[in-house]
Chains A and B, each alone.
Chain A
């Protein structure tokens, strides 16, 4: 028997908060349930879009952070 899944379950699945058993059941359910498959696809696309919103710090900023760590002893002594 195929288990019924809610939209909340789909969200937990997308964010990898479901168990291995739930993953298997959900992936099976998606094959047989077009609505569920469409819902999952839409949620995934929107979540993916959120990654595009991310901003990056400059390379210089990251280098300064890494330099601070490498020269930590010098800072600590001073």
Chain B
């Protein structure tokens, strides 16, 4: 949803020419969305960080050896790699992968931690954990579209193609996901608060 003055493609071009700052911008720009996708699968901060690093080793190797294909968008490409690695992790562990959210544990966001008091940070984290639980309760088809559109930043057309449905069905699923989420939030009295959702 955010617009940047320098596009991902431009950053990748700079990176191909040896500009490591451009790569840092690219990594920092998308770190939360990619990390969240992995985290929602593995539900473990440290494992998710390992998988994020593994993802970027593949990304760096692909770009630095000139094998990066500009046809697709960067974020969906990286997120797919991360998603596949997370699923592979479960396959190796002989477990069945499903997109699930954290169980309410309080792992503080280390990057933003210093900006808030411990108490307000705790309230934020608890609220966000509750929201993750609410997303977890959504029907699979709605949860899938929500993850693909919001965190993987795939367009509704791309989601329709990937899931074999019409664009209107994809839009409808997303709409119902948001309506259901809103109902659950209202029921639990989770009011919208700009301090909780600062972006």
Residue pair A51, B199 in contact (C-beta under 8 Å):
yes
Measured CB to CB, the residues of B under 8 A from A are: 1, 3, 20, 23-24, 27-28, 31-33, 35-36, 39, 45, 48-49, 52-53, 56-57, 60-61, 64, 107, 109-112, 124, 127-128, 131-132, 135, 146, 149-151, 155-156, 168, 171-172, 174-175, 178, 181-182, 185, 190, 192, 196-199
- Beyond A51-B199, A70-B20, whether A57 also contacts B155 by CB under 8 A is no
- Beyond A11-B175, A49-B131, whether A69 also contacts B20 by CB under 8 A is yes
CB-defined interface of A1-14 with B at 8 Å, one 1/0 digit per residue? Answer: 00000011001101
Interface residues of B: mostly helix, strand, loop or mixed? Answer: helix
A46 at the interface (CB under 8 A from B): yes
Residue pair B32, A55 in contact (C-beta under 8 Å):
yes
User: Given A51, A62, A68, A69, which contacts B197 in the complex, CB threshold below 8 Å?
Assistant: A51
